[in-house]
Chain A
């Protein structure tokens, strides 16, 4: 293992030089991109990011250079071996397509004396945090990377892009509490129960379009659905159509993030199927149509009314806020079943919108010992 890094670096450089000579756009990704940006040196494999349409050509030029290609069962990457060293050619990290824009955002850096494009640090963290999941959420690996790259990253953008992932949220919370990164001004950084308004509009790529925050309007068609990345999506009209976005953040909040791109028809808003699991009496409460693609404030209003009208909840006093597609509900209900129904009703009415259910349960309606007695006089 002692020699592994040197072998890995040799393979890394060989692949990079080969791709460059063939004029195939790519960027160094994975843990070597982190290493190039100051992080710990990896000892496992080498990752390159390519557009899917370039992968076949890349494999053939690499094969011509003496590498051995392997077609793995995974559909988001392909692999080549340089001797014993495994090199991943990734075209759909965490379900999102690698795009030309993403590759253009990468920075030309010297990696072990060879200049090559290295994946943008913000993109890199979006992917890395979105890759965290229940069986792979070791923050001990992530924190040193945050430490190493923190000043190269637009953390608010990372927060928005990863808002749907509880694992990413946890990582960002820890990093924030450790003062490794600045506190977010948006939802992802606020603790549950304290809803802050996300002040910047999300310009996060819709699933599979691979458009990133820093890039012009998306052009790629939607790719595979990746349910984890639903928060903060903005449609391109809103994106381009909001003037003075950076100087007038509040206004952007109102218009951006309205679209649930990638799921245009999945909505079947308030469809009849929503009545599953509801009790009798649901009938006349006709699941109202809620258009999940409308402006945030209207969606919030519609969901507020829906929660009052749906018999599973029937609570008039819940507060609903929608920020960049992220639905937040606060308030009190009498039972845990109704609390769970809140999330259910919203999920049915506005599918694809991540929900933060901060609804609490009114204290048990039981006797509670000596109560304070007020004297009315």
Chain B
């Protein structure tokens, strides 16, 4: 059983010191890893990233993060990545990381993602240069997620994004802004890359649960959505048959998992 804690959109500012470290302390013994789904800072300023870094510096479990659009707002995403990395976090952008959890290798592939919209209501690579750039960027980052998932050498794959891969978890947001909240290309990558779970943030007014067309559970872990310090998910893994299950990954992924031992 792998216990994943996840939250996005904590939006820490320079006035937020001391607000997140208690969450991490509380997770000791309850989660094996903490995934942060972007918008860790409010304005994407390095000094805010320092606040985030101080909050996570003493984490006793691995912290894996992607950045969100807020973290890009100050044009300092690289510096922010460096600050968080120095504090011990793994910041993913088109990359993956594997953590061995009790003999099970948990792989997390992460990308911020982008907007663009969902199947049948999405932007096209057509028209003005800015429009084409917008749509191409959305596709590029989705491809990066796919590559990152495929490169993972692990037993369980989790896709971590800031933007949403499916519209299910946007319910509550105004439909008109869905194209700013996510892209179905991310879901394509989640399905094609064999993820068992997709976690995202960004849609503060959305809802927690959804699923890709391929049946992969999608969870919106934006802090306002989950309504608690972080969401906890357990993935039950019968390690003895991991190898077999990996062979049949093309089937709906829910079949890869078995009911876990409940605590």
Q: Which residues of A contact B (CB under 8 A)?
A: 279, 281, 311, 314, 316-317, 331-332, 334-335, 337-338, 362-368, 371-377
CB-CB nearest in chain A for B205 = A317
Task: List the A side residues contacting B196 at CB < 8 Å.
Answer: 376
Q: How large is the interface on B (under 10, 10 to 19, 20 to 34, 35 or more residues)?
A: 35 or more
Check if B185 is an interface residue, CB within 8 A of chain A. no
User: Which residues does B use to contact A, with CB under 8 Å?
Assistant: 3, 10-16, 19-20, 22-23, 25-27, 30, 42-43, 45, 69-70, 73-74, 173, 196-197, 204-205, 217, 219, 223-224, 227-236, 254, 257-260, 262-263
CB distance from B39 to the nearest CB of A (A): 10
Q: How far is the CA of A30 from the CA of B236 in the complex (A)?
A: 76
Can you name the residue of chain A whose Cβ is closest to the Cβ of B217? A376
Neighbour of A376 across the interface among B11, B12, B13, B234, CB < 8 A: B234
- Tell me whether B43 and A314 are in contact (CB under 8 A): yes
Contact of B229 among A311, A317, A337, A367 (CB under 8 A): A367
Min C-beta distance of A199 to chain B, whole Å: 22
Contacts of A279 in B (CB 8 A): 14
- The closest CB in chain B to the CB of A364 belongs to B19
- Most A CB contacts (10 A, CB to CB) among B10, B228, B234 go to B228
> In chain B, what residue has the closest Cβ to A330?
B205
Q: Are A366's CB and B233's CB within 8 A?
A: no
A171 to chain B, nearest CB (A): 34
**Chain B, interface SS category:** loop
Distance (whole angstroms) from the CB of B122 to the closest CB of chain A: 20
CB neighbours of B229 from chain A (8 A): 363, 365-368, 371
Across the interface, which residues of B come within 8 angstroms of A376, CB to CB? 196-197, 217, 233-235, 257
Distance in Å: Cβ of B176 to nearest Cβ of chain A: 11
List 14 extra interface pairs beyond A367-B22, A373-B233, CB under 8 A.
A316-B69, A317-B173, A317-B204, A317-B205, A364-B19, A365-B19, A367-B27, A368-B228, A368-B229, A371-B30, A373-B232, A375-B233, A376-B233, A377-B259
A366 to B232, CA, bound (A): 14
Other-chain residue from A334, A363, A371, A372 in contact with B11 (beta carbon distance below 8 A): A334
Given contacts A334-B10, A366-B23, A367-B26, contact A377 B231 (CB under 8 A): no
Contact A365 B13 (CB under 8 A): no
Determine if A375 and B262 form an interchain contact, defined as CB atoms under 8 angstroms apart. yes
From residue A309, how far is it (CB to closest CB) to chain B in Å?
Answer: 9
Known: A367-B25, A376-B217, A377-B257. A331 touches B228 (CB 8 A): no
* Shortest 6 CB-CB contacts between residues of A and residues of B: A367-B26, A373-B232, A317-B204, A334-B11, A365-B19, A332-B224
Closest to B41 in A: A314
Query: B69 to nearest A CB, angstroms?
Result: 8
Q: Are A375 and B231 in contact (CB under 8 A)?
A: no
- Known interface pairs A281-B45, A376-B197, A376-B217; A335-B233 also in contact (CB < 8 Å): no
Contact at B43–A311, with CB atoms within 8 Å? yes
Residues in A with CB closer than 8 Å to B224 are 332, 362
